[in-house]
Amino acid sequence: MVYDGGAGIEISIGLLKRMADTLPNLTCAKLFLPYSPKIVLYDGATNGKVAAWAGHDQINYLMLLYGAKGMTSTASCVLLKEQTDMFNFIHAGRLDEARKIFLEKPAPLKTIAFANAIPSMV
């Protein structure tokens, strides 16, 4: 897995493509940028070799809607069931149920913890 946006360093789609072409063990990329539509570009640029993972707690829900295949989440340490259910509902096409979970549990927690720039509160 590569970390797109970690430490504020964005991996361009061109670089991701070159990495996918030369690194046989690269299978996914974690997106930690507030730009969910980039997830759609991963698949096309790498011919489906590199799966996008949602990696930004505040917008993981949206990233999953854009097609992220996995998710890393600090909030999952506290809301494991809710985050798992939200993920599974989105991938099953049960979007109303996923949205309800997101709005009732993860969204308020993420707003409190991340608005104050202290994810360790989670």
Task: Give the model's pLDDT for residue 114.
Answer: 63
In a domain, 33, yes or no: yes
* pLDDT tens figures, 34-76: 899 999 999 999 999 999 999 988 889 999 999 999 999 888 8
In a domain, 122, yes or no: no
Range list of β-strands (E), the chain: 2-4, 28-31, 51-54, 70-71
In a domain, 71, yes or no: yes
Residue 122 pLDDT exceeds 60 = no
In a domain, 98, yes or no: yes
The DSSP element (H or E) to which 100 belongs, if any, is: helix 95-104
In a domain, 59, yes or no: yes
In a domain, 23, yes or no: yes
- The string of DSSP letters for 37-51 reads THHHHHHHHTTT-SE
* pLDDT tens figures, 70-113: 999 888 888 999 999 999 999 999 999 999 999 998 888 877 77
Task: Give the model's pLDDT for residue 117.
Answer: 56
* pLDDT tens figures, 1-21: 999 998 889 999 999 999 999
Tokens standing for 14?
């061109």
In a domain, 12, yes or no: yes
Residue count of the chain, please give it. Answer: 122
Angle at 91 between CA 69 and CA 77, to 5 degrees: 70
Listed in sequence order, the residues at least 6 apart from 67 whose beta carbon sits closer than 8 Å to its beta carbon are: 39, 40, 43, 52
In a domain, 112, yes or no: yes
The CATH number of whichever domain residue 33 belongs to comes to 3.20.20.70
Residue 11 is part of which domain span? 2-117
Number of domains the chain is built from? 1
